Amino acid sequence: MNALHPYYCCSPRHELSAHVVRRMHEAAQDVWRHDISLTIDSCISGISMPATTSVTLNTGAAMPTVGLGTWKSKPGQVEHAVEFALKNGYTHIDTAAGYQNETEVGQGIKASGLPREQVFLTTKLDNPDQRHPAKALEASLKKLDTPYLDLWLMHWPAPMTRDGKPDREHSWLDTWKAMEDLYIAHPEKLKAIGVSNFSVEFFERLLKVARVVPAVNQIELHPSCPQDDVVEYCQSKGIVLTAYSPLGSDNSPLLKNETVTKIAAKPMHTVLPKSVTNERILNNAKIIDLTPEEISELHDIDKTHHFRACHPSWTGFGGLGFPDCNSMMGRP
């Protein structure tokens, strides 16, 4: 959220592409200032199938595919956006401790008047809190003014100190073990746990010791960064994939990509952008299907125009196992 979501037996190209082209269509009229996220649980790569409105997590819970992300949404704006979205059909809200707006998100949920059990709420454990996840969980619950979370994610497999430096004396594996303990001990507080920004390499390390398979993995995913290896791996493990920055984030070159703008000229709508504008919140709650040919065209963009909006090196832990990031940093 960045943050949010879509699934059933849909191709990852299909869902992502639909979202991207709609945002491209709107970008011609306004400057894109907020990031987007959507969730993808795909079965068959390259085959277009109808978009769906929910996905089933490995816990058995249903997660709405249409949701509002709140990254970069400031206090004074985000509470209104959340309230408006929930009053107009949305039932999924995504935030994070690191976004520093959990209090306002909670206020927006309360102001909507929607019963808590009708809202799917996601937040994330911040990197500097990895040594003390129990304390961080209570802080998030208090700020959001909620007795439980539908989904709690480890934001990055990258423990950090309060001054923003890598905490190399603490292992993110220990953080996951602590999250598992909380999930098992407090099902009334945590309905599901998951991860974010996990590569296949890091997943293999995690699943060797995990007692709980993550319900979700949230990663950067767009036509210039399709991450097919992570998509396929998550599918094989029954892990729902959430895509953030599906348009490549601020000032993305995808905004001017010839393939994207051509397809975006068609009238269409899609899912899960972060926005504080009422009209966009309403428009983005609609989902459409693309043709297999359009999906293939969008997927081919990465062959000549690969980029990442958020390189994991900012954490101080290098490429975090992502092949394109490791090669950029000289790793084999």
pLDDT digits (tens, 9 = 90+) for 120-177: 999 999 999 999 999 999 999 999 999 999 999 999 999 999 999 999 999 999 999 9
One-character DSSP codes across 170-197 = S-HHHHHHHHHHHHHH-TTTBS-EEEES
299 confidence band (pLDDT: 50, 70, 90): confident
pLDDT at res. 250: 66
- Give 220's DSSP letter: E
More confident residue, 37 or 90: 90
Q: Are 37 and 70 in contact (CB under 8 A)?
A: no
CA of residue 158 relative to chain centroid, distance: 17
Burial class of 245 by CB neighbour count within 10 A (0 to 12, 13 to 18, 19+): buried
> Is 254's pLDDT higher than 70?
yes
195-204, 292-301, 312-321: least confident range: 292-301
pLDDT at res. 216: 95
- Set 90, 99, 233, 244: catalytic member: 99
Does 148 participate in catalysis according to the annotation? no
More confident residue, 75 or 206: 206
Dihedral of CA 260/265/271/272: which sign? Answer: positive
- Average pLDDT of the chain to the nearest whole number: 79
CA dihedral 178, 54, 276, 13 (to 10 degrees): 90
pLDDT at res. 20: 41
Q: Which bin fits 35, alpha (ψ -120 to 50), beta or left (φ > 0)? A: beta
Mean pLDDT for the stretch of residues 7-23: 37
Give residue-wise pLDDT tens across range 177-192. Answer: 999 999 999 999 999 9
Task: Express as a percent the part of the chain with pLDDT over 70.
Answer: 73
pTM as predicted: 0.81
pLDDT at res. 5: 32
pLDDT at res. 263: 72
